[in-house]
Amino acid sequence: METKILSPMELKQAVEFLRDGELVAFPTETVYGLGADATNEAAVKKVYQAKGRPSDNPLIVTVSDVSMVETFAENIPADAKKLMDNFWPGPLTILLKVKPDTLPQVVTGGLDTVAFRNPDHQLTLDLISSLNRPIVGPSANTSTKPSPTSAQHVNHDLNGKIAAIIDGGMTSVGLESTIVDLTVSPYAILRPGEITAEAISRVLEKPVVGGNHVVSAGETPKAPGMKYRHYAPKNDVVIVDSDADFSKIPVNDNQVAVVSLQSVIDRIKPRHSFSLGQDVTSASHHLFEALRYFDEQENIKTIYVQGFSDGDLAEAYMNRLEKSAAGKHFG
């Protein structure tokens, strides 16, 4: 199959593909998603195939407005409406009880919950409202690869496997959405993102259990995706914590690369480097791009990546980085 790269002007063609049960990758403010008509079982099955994703790992349902949520969820608490009012469109995914028999089982992996997302990206909102149905939206990468933050990343992983990619340029946030579970008490963050537990708790005036939950062996994870290795490039990734001595990194080793703030690169002058910009916000924006960049460089064996401990995005950034590094820290 030929994968078409569509410009924003060619949105109509993307709607046609979705209507025909084909797969279309779409931009969001976080990372690119892989779309299929969420009500078309055969189309949704193709998503698992294209990504190489285990079928017990459910898919997010991407909606263009709150009325679509009402069609597919039941017992929606007033708190869900508050969060939608405050944070939608935006990088917050909300877990609710699914209305039985409204969505194919493959979407939810047989769970009785469904995750709703309303991305802050006009092209994609227009795509969904033109289709007049929600689309599933896992990240548009091959399973276990870093999530894609550009159309080129999607094309690298899925070329020949999907009908089209809508090119909306680089995504702005760069890390996937926060997932909050409103079907449990107290409410719980299943995946940290730009919208923090504190921000949600402030809006609801209720406690919210924070993220970075590590799933232990034998435990049935709340978000099935948490049990799979994620964001894993081919090279060894090592985290350099903010209090570590950067000058001890073997920067002259030809097989070593450093991914860090520009100020650190200027100071330690590594032979191979990728700049994360000036703060944790730009670092989040560039993290997956950096990991993918060195994944393509056969000579690089170890990537040292700067860690962060302060700022709203630090928890989400470290959550993704810990998974790529499988727990390895420098020093």
> If we measure between CA atoms, which residue out of 268, 260, 324 comes closest to residue 292?
324
3-class DSSP state for residue 244? coil
Burial of 185 (0-12, 13-18, 19+ CB in 10 A): exposed
- Contacts (Cβ under 8 Å, ≥6 apart) of 152: none
Residue nearest to ligand TXA (CB): 225
Q: Are 196 and 177 a contacting pair, CB within 8 Å?
A: no
Q: How far is the CB of 224 from ligand TXA (least distance, A)?
A: 4
Residues that bind Mg ion (CB under 5 A): 139
- Distance from C-alpha of 326 to C-alpha of 229, rounded to nearest angstrom: 8
Report the residue number, 59 or 290, with the smaller CB distance to ligand TXA: 59
Partner that binds at residue 183, options Mg ion, ligand TXA, none, CB closer than 5 to 8 Å by kind: none
CA R_g for the chain: 20
Give 108 or 297: the residue with its C-beta nearer to ligand TXA. 108
Indicate left, alpha or beta for 201 from its phi (over 0: left) and psi (-120 to 50: alpha).
Answer: alpha
**DSSP classification of residue 184:** S
Residue 130: CB minimum distance to Mg ion, A: 25
At its nearest, how many Å lie between ligand TXA and the CB of residue 315?
15
Q: Of 91 and 192, which has the nearer Cβ to ligand TXA?
A: 91
Cβ 21 vs Cβ 82: under 8 Å:
no
Residues in contact with ligand TXA by CB under 6 A are 28, 30-31, 33, 57-60, 91, 93, 95, 108, 111, 113-115, 117, 119, 137-139, 176-177, 179, 190, 222-225
> Could you tell which of ligand TXA, Mg ion, none binds residue 86, using a CB distance below 5 to 8 A set by kind?
none
Distance CA 186, CA 30 (A): 26
**Other beta carbons within 10 Å of 12:** 11
DSSP SS3 for 126: helix
Q: How far is CA 98 from the centre of its chain?
A: 22
Nearer to Mg ion, 139 or 149 (CB): 139
Residue 96: contacted member of Mg ion, ligand TXA, none (CB under 5 to 8 Å, by partner type)? none
Cα–Cα distance, 127 to 205 (Å, whole number): 35
Q: In whole angstroms, how close is the CB of 123 to ligand TXA at the nearest point? A: 13
Cβ distance to ligand TXA smaller for residue 61 or 251: 61
CA distance 230 to 275: 22
Cβ atoms of 117 and 173 within 8 Å: the answer is no
Nearer of residues 232 and 268 to Mg ion, judged by Cβ: 232
Measured from the CB atom, the residue of 228 and 297 that comes closer to ligand TXA is 228
Q: Which of residues 111 and 209 has its CB atom nearest to ligand TXA in the complex?
A: 111
Determine the residue with CB nearest Mg ion.
139
